[in-house]
Structure 1
Amino acid sequence: MKPDLALAYCRMIAQTLGVDQDGLGALVANTGIDVATLQHGDGFIDWPGACQLIHNAGQLSDAPDLALQTGLRALPAMHGPMGMAAMASPTLRDAMRVFASFTNTRTRVFRTDMDEDDDTITLHLTFAYPLDQAIRFLTESAMASAYACHVVLRGKPIEQGRACFNYPAPPWADAYRKVFRGIDVIFDHPEVCLSLPAHYGDEMLASHDRDLLWMAIQQCEARQETLRKQGTVTDQVLALLHQSHGQSSLDQVADHLHMSPRTLIRKLKREETRFQQLLDQTLSRRATQLLSLPHYTVAAVAEDLGYTDVASFRRAFQRWFGTSPGKFRQE
């Protein structure tokens, strides 16, 4: 089973639902895990299984804010060694760097990147799959968790910032504003991100513990190495292309993987794929994500994907989907 999502997060869904033993059975139906694994396992569930579990959760509850409420339960201690390292960090900025560095020890469904300018520190969430019911659920829960974790780490409310989502406001948008108290909630944004004032990053954490930080970082790095060895070459190439939004060349990816381009081509062939196929997969996925945002023009999508002119992007899109970007958006 691929380590796509830590089972701890599935348990939080169950806790939010508040279901009995029969409900737990319904929750794990057709997911590839049983009730005992859900309750006591410390491993992972693959993405198809996670999607089924999220679907089952929707059948068990009519609460539209289920994902948001689940995310509020995911405080630092629920994020394993990564959460421990964040809590033990010297400053909030250091804690945010921990989340950005080690999200992949808890899930492969999205990655977290951090950047900072004079005014803000931002955590960006980039998902490996197109927006659908399951990805929206995970977006809501991950963002609610990020917000709640930062409140806990600061030891006081967040009074400035932005929570941005890359889809239109849902009918339960008011629930977002109740969860993300004190900050602006923005829909139809080009990306999913949580931005906080830059000066928040300087705040010292009361939970800072140098020895605990060292031990937790060691555990996170060991987990990353284990996952790296488990992944196929295809997985590794897709991860690198995903990180660069498809802007990495064959030579750059091969260099990052410490092999020659010829060796990379040969290894991908053994796994019955090609670099161009993986690149097209990455670019086509991002194209559909951006086209779902009404304020993103076709020209803007083409530029984001690295095309020098719109005509080249239109030809590529036609090859990927058998239709034009404009018709795809209308559908």
Structure 2
Amino acid sequence: RWGMLSSALLCAKTLGHALAIADEFKEILRSRFTISNQQQGNMLLISLNPNPEMNFPVNDIFGYEIFLGSLKAQISQLIAKPFRFSEVKLPYSKPLNARYYQKISESPVQFEAPSGQLSIPLDKMQQALPMTNRVTSKVVISQCRDELERVKNARLGDIVFTVRSMLAQSEGDLPELPLIASKLSMSPRTLRRRLQQEHVQYRQLCEQERQQIAVSLLSADTLSLKEIGECCGFKDIASFHKAFKRWTGETPARYRRNLHSRDILS
């Protein structure tokens, strides 16, 4: 999911567009914060509020620290240059490690604020991203919407989401349908019938999983195209090339070139 969503952010038109995408699909990654924006003069104020439906893994202070550090790093990667917030406000007392906040964030930090808040100049939000790509953006946004719908339906026992999750957790070649059915304590025939009721076939889910694996690995830029094709279950590079072009309208080589046209993640 991170590979899919990060591709959508990298291919966005502007920083503001990228942050809007991140907020729209935050449920995909189970974000522990809800975000609201307010314009004040030439600044955009981003308010942070803990999601009441989720607990922090350690405590709320650690949650804010992780969010602040991660968002600063992600924005720097998106715009391909160092970034800092104009101001950071945090809704808790000054912690023992407070001296590191300004050092790491490179921003003025105020504790004991009414709520969490980050300030960004509006001209930064309107800044075009160096790797914007309309074609790739359309593909990955569609994937994010499909995944978000499955996440929302998961609480209702969505069989499609369940199977997709099992495919994502599998190692090596994707399992055959009978193996998935046995793990769900049902017959292959029952699983096929339940998927058909959702107007989807098992091979389609496998195809979608291969596509997400390919997008993620191409974004990482650590494996050759041949190795990525093998990771996705293709026996040769030609089959991988043909399938990826069918999925995205681009060859895997061109997709990778577009993502890495600038050394944005160095």
State the partner residue of 2:204. none
State the partner residue of 1:81. 4
Q: In 2 relative to 1, CA 230–83 (structure 1 residues): closer, same or farther, beyond 3 Å? A: same
Residue pairs, 1:1-331, within 5 angstroms: 79-129=2-52, 133-158=58-83, 161-181=86-106, 183-231=107-155
Q: Does the aligned pair in 1 maintain the 2:45–2:117 contact within 8 Å?
A: yes
Amino acid at match of 1:231: R
Structure 1 CA distance, aligned partners of 2:34 and 2:85? 24
Q: Return 167-176 or 81-90, whichever deviates more.
A: 81-90
State the partner residue of 1:248. none
Shift of 1:159: 5.2
Shift of 1:133: 4.1
Q: How many residues align?
A: 155
Cα shift readout 1:13-55 (whole Å, capped 9, x = no counterpart): xxxxxxxxxxxxxxxxxxxxxxxxxxxxx7xxxxxxxxxxxxx
Q: In 2 relative to 1, CA 178–127 (structure 1 residues): closer, same or farther, beyond 3 Å? A: same
Shift of 1:127: 1.1
Q: In 2 relative to 1, CA 80–126 (structure 1 residues): closer, same or farther, beyond 3 Å? A: farther
Q: Does the aligned pair in 1 maintain the 2:32–2:56 contact within 8 Å?
A: no
Structure 2 CA distance, aligned partners of 1:82 and 1:95? 10
Q: Which has the higher contact order (CA 8 A, sep 6+)?
A: 2
Shift of 1:132: 8.9
TM-score by length of 2: 0.52
TM-score by length of 1: 0.43
Secondary structure, counterpart of 2:65 in structure 1: helix
Shift of 1:87: 1.1
Secondary structure, counterpart of 1:221 in structure 2: helix
Runs of 5+ unmatched residues, structure 1: 1-41, 43-78, 233-331
State the partner residue of 1:72. none
Runs of 5+ unmatched residues, structure 2: 157-266
Structure 1 CA distance, aligned partners of 2:146 and 2:41? 34
Q: In 2 relative to 1, CA 220–132 (structure 1 residues): closer, same or farther, beyond 3 Å? A: closer
Structure 2 CA distance, aligned partners of 1:157 and 1:204? 15
Structure 2 CA distance, aligned partners of 1:114 and 1:231? 29
Q: Does the aligned pair in 2 maintain the 1:82–1:99 contact within 8 Å?
A: yes
State the partner residue of 1:25. none
Q: In 2 relative to 1, CA 167–98 (structure 1 residues): closer, same or farther, beyond 3 Å? A: same
Amino acid at match of 2:29: R
Structure 2 CA distance, aligned partners of 1:216 and 1:115? 28
Cα shift readout 1:59-114 (whole Å, capped 9, x = no counterpart): xxxxxxxxxxxxxxxxxxxx332222111111111111112211111015322333
Shift of 1:216: 1.8
Shift of 1:172: 0.4
Q: In 2 relative to 1, CA 226–131 (structure 1 residues): closer, same or farther, beyond 3 Å? A: closer
Structure 2 CA distance, aligned partners of 1:143 and 1:227? 25
